[in-house]
Structure 1
């Protein structure tokens, strides 16, 4: 396993790859868990060489407090990655290596994909995501890049970015990995106490029931039911629940059999913000 901390080191590390072989990229912010590892395993299986980046990107945090609290566990991350493959290239740049002297995000037009759900609650978040993802894609020049469906809105925005900027890479969606009680795996879960972490499994339980109800009831009925369900959970504060078109991410207005829909949710558990989603049809 090779660890590179500069762009030049990374460029040299991937330079010897045969043109007939493929290069995979798994961008992460560290604090790795089995959800991340599932992405890395898929990349290793599908490519001759895989780069895993570990970089806590400051421009995608709308609150300085969240950036400061984000766990940095590099040694533990490296131990996890060693168990996947000893031929990985790990890219661990500094803030200055990625941004130079000016830490700011670029401005993108994601055609409305960034204005709903997460975008409505997190100022400039997706410009920050776009900035670092574009930088990594142009630096690594992978054939395939892997992103988890837990951040489904982010996944759709990255697909739009690649399309708009005409970056020659295939974006590979990877299924959500869950804890035993259903909670979507996230680095933020480590900030939950054991009892609250178990309680947060209610988020996925609610999504499953919402999916069943969506097959029989209107979207308005389902949204009202979810709101009512969380009002009975004092330890869990619902920030939003939305049913949206998979392609446009626009909130549903009329249920159409020809369209695919997904339910999106954000919940605070003891001050820790958790997101999840589920395909509805």
Structure 2
């Protein structure tokens, strides 16, 4: 595995793969890698000729500076994990490389960035759009792999690729979960044992809501019931629990088996904010 720190180091390697007509796969990460990230890597290894993984904790997507400071740094372990599975390249730029000057550009993704995560984390998707655009320009992959757990981010990146005409195919990989169902996340490392146990309310509520919708209950009735369930979990504070169209992120007030839909949830467990989602009609 070759470590690269700047785009100029990557350029001759990229050209070499291009001349051999080889397909390049790209997995962007912020480190603190878990099996969910490695699922994306595995998908790239299986479907492309060369796989590059980036590790960069992007400051512009954190609306809470404290959250940025506390983001786990496990670079040495991350590099070992990537090497062990056979990754070809790892791109580890520093902030000065990615942002030589303060970014003034503002990306507006319309409705999708004003609801749910966009509403609770203003500026977050602008930061995501900026860094993903920069990485796409630097790496120029044929295929980029993203996880379904960040469903709203996926919708934003699809819009980015479409509107800016990036010649990149997007591959969305299903959410990897712990044995008890909790969605894998770097933030899980910061949960206390009690918070970790109570965090299961997220997946339990998603599964319960899906079951009740298919049993014929009205969505608003289901939502109210889930909100009451969260009140019974001492360390949990619900931000939202919504039925949405996964492409547009418009809320749906009624469930229809004929319409694409997913349920999205976000909640605090103590000071740690977790998100999850469950496709109802893919």
Question: 1:138 and 1:160 mapped to 2: Cα distance?
Answer: 16
Question: 2:33 and 2:61 mapped to 1: Cα distance?
Answer: 18
What are the ranges of 5 or more consecutive residues in structure 2 without an aligned counterpart?
A: none
Question: 2:231 and 2:253 mapped to 1: Cα distance?
Answer: 24
1:8-56 deviations in whole A, cap 9, x for unaligned?
A: 1122232210452210000000011111011001111111001100000
Q: Which residue of 1 aligns with 2:136?
A: 137
Q: Which residue of 2 aligns with 1:96?
A: 96
> TM-score, normalising length from structure 1?
0.96
Alignment check: 8 A CA contact 1:264 1:277 kept: yes
**Cα drift, residue 247 of structure 1:** 2.0
Q: Which residue of 2 aligns with 1:33?
A: 34
Q: Which residue of 1 aligns with 2:252?
A: 252
1:177-216 to 2 correspondences below 5 Å: 177-215=176-214, 216=216
**Cα drift, residue 6 of structure 1:** 1.0
**Cα drift, residue 246 of structure 1:** 1.9
SS in 2 for 1:112: helix
Q: Describe the shift of the 1:241–1:164 C-alpha distance in structure 2 as closer, same or farther (beyond 3 A).
A: same
SS in 1 for 2:110: coil
Determine whether 1:6 maps to 2:6. yes
Question: 2:213 and 2:13 mapped to 1: Cα distance?
Answer: 49
Q: Which residue of 1 aligns with 2:67?
A: 66
1:107-160 deviations in whole A, cap 9, x for unaligned?
A: 223231111110010011000000000111111111100000000000011001
Q: Work out the number of aligned pairs and report it.
A: 279
Question: 2:193 and 2:85 mapped to 1: Cα distance?
Answer: 27
Determine whether 1:42 maps to 2:63. no
Q: Describe the shift of the 1:22–1:79 C-alpha distance in structure 2 as closer, same or farther (beyond 3 A).
A: same
CA RMSD of aligned residues (A): 1.2
Determine whether 1:168 maps to 2:164. no
What are the ranges of 5 or more consecutive residues in structure 1 without an aligned counterpart?
A: none
Question: 1:184 and 1:73 mapped to 2: Cα distance?
Answer: 20
